[in-house]
Amino acid sequence: MKALFIKYKSVIKFILTFLAVYICCSLAYKFYLQFSDGSKYYPDYFTNLVAYQSEAILNTVGYETEVLQHPDEPSMKLIVNGNYLGRVIEGCNSINVIILFVSFIIAFSGKLKTTLFYILSGSVLIYVVNLFRIVFMSIGLYHYPEYKDILHDIIFPGIIYGLVFSLWIFWVNRFSKLKRKSE
């Protein structure tokens, strides 16, 4: 058993570190959502921010857009040129994806300064790409509502998770301790 542990020490360390960071960050985010009562920012600060930033980008590119609080659920209604296109919910704010990204980077950490810089810059990139994902999905839904399921369930999740996977691969190949050990 000890020989098996030694053989797979780096794999076990990765899994345990990933799980510990992921669980801690997810619990912190869960508590944030529980204590975010929606009185100032509805439904919570980050979802509210993403909804209004998406609205601003859509307005900038020529679509008359309005974001309204959904009366029946914790979400923001997205209305483009008078057409209700959908809702911006907590899952649209990219925080869960960023938690997944950060957990992996810490589990494959490199030098402290490099790791922190990559986490910050990667998180910002994920957030920005997510905003444009919502904008392009809104434009797509506005012009091609018949492709709603493909746009929402396949293409746009593929974009955000494809980005995260690409950032992971880049990190492992360029900066992680695993890379330095193999050189």
What percentage of residues in the chain have a pLDDT greater than 90? 78
* pLDDT for 68: 95
Distance CA 61, CA 64 (A): 9
Residue 179 has pLDDT above 70, yes or no: no
* pLDDT for 87: 94
Residue 182 has pLDDT above 60, yes or no: no
- Spans of all domains in the chain: 2-41+89-177
What DSSP assignment string belongs to 66-100? EEEE-SSSSSEEEEETTEEEEEE-GGGSSHHHHHH
pLDDT tens digits, residue range 52-61? 999 999 999 9
* pLDDT for 10: 84
Residue 177 has pLDDT above 60, yes or no: yes
- 56 near 87, Cβ under 8 Å? no
Distance CA 123, CA 127 (A): 6
Could you tell me the pTM of the whole model?
0.90
* pLDDT for 4: 67
- In terms of Cβ atoms closer than 10 Å to its own Cβ (0-12, 13-18, 19+), residue 177 is middle
Question: What average pLDDT does range 21-42 have in this prediction?
Answer: 90
Q: To which H or E segment does residue 65 belong? A: strand 65-69
Residue 162 has pLDDT above 90, yes or no: yes
Distance CA 134, CA 152 (A): 9
